[in-house]
Amino acid sequence: MPPKPKCTREEIAKTALEIIKENGLSSLTARELGKRLNASASPIFTVFESMDEVKMAARELALREFREYISDFEKYTPAFKRIGIKMVSYGIREPELFKLLFMQEHNEAVGLKSSLQDLGTTVDTCISLTMRDYDLSEDEAEILFEQLWIEAFGLGTMCAMKICDLSEEEIGRKLGTTFASLMMLIKSGKLSSVYSDVQKSSNGIYHGNALNDLPFKE
């Protein structure tokens, strides 16, 4: 019969998460983890097969914490803007956990929709609320959500890397500008023509007849 683990899976994962929070993912080693648990590294590997598995367990806890952090979004309109604000502020509040959740290199790239799987049902909820509140089709609401998410991801990354520091008001203003611009384009009825018409030339300049006929052109 194998020896009974001295530490539970949950205890090890929580301790690993604390180490990452304080000093980043690179500081999570078997030696440091054992030290925090007042044990050698051996008990860790009676529960986990590798440190990569420990990291994934810690990431699951971080993801649970992040989902709780953004859980008030349904009280706001637009809901996905609230998620964007909270995502960026999470990069400021918990930079190492933001990196753990959103800035890890993957073995291979996936489509944008697949990359949002960690948000669980949040994506579908936001799309449904946007369709309801702004009278959009599902495709239009998806485009709106994805573009706002891309911007929130970029701002959150900049904040987590200490490139900039933004107040919640500044975050809301920047995401709000993008939201208003996209909504204006969608409501103009020219979204499809812009998507199909715009091309990038060999010198890197975007061109297309539809760009000259947008509703917000001066």
Give the global pTM: 0.77
Domain range summary for the chain, segments of one domain joined by +: 1-62, 70-189
Q: Residue 218: pLDDT above 50? A: no
How far the first Cα of the chain sits from its last, in Å, is: 77
3-state secondary structure 4-50: CCCCCHHHHHHHHHHHHHHHCHHHCCHHHHHHHCCCCCHHHHHCCCC
Amino acid identity of residue 188, one-letter, is S
Rounded distance, CA 151 to CA 85, Å? Answer: 10
pLDDT tens digits along 3-47 = 555 778 999 999 999 999 999 999 999 999 988 988 776 778 888
57 confidence band (pLDDT: 50, 70, 90): very high
The token pair that represents 142 in the structure block: 């998806």
Instruction: Give me the CATH topology for the region 1-62.
Output: Arc Repressor Mutant, subunit A (1.10.10)
Distance (Å, rounded) from C-alpha 127 to C-alpha 16?
34
Distance CA 83, CA 96 (A): 19
What tokens does 112 get? 């944008």
Average pLDDT, the chain: 83
| pLDDT tens-digit readout, 199-212 | 555 555 545 555 55
Of 153, 206, 159, 208, the C-alpha closest to 175 is 153
**200 secondary structure, DSSP code:** E
The span from the CA of 202 to the CA of 218, in Å, is 27
The Cα-based distances of 192 to 109, 175, 189, 218 in angstroms read 26, 23, 8, 21
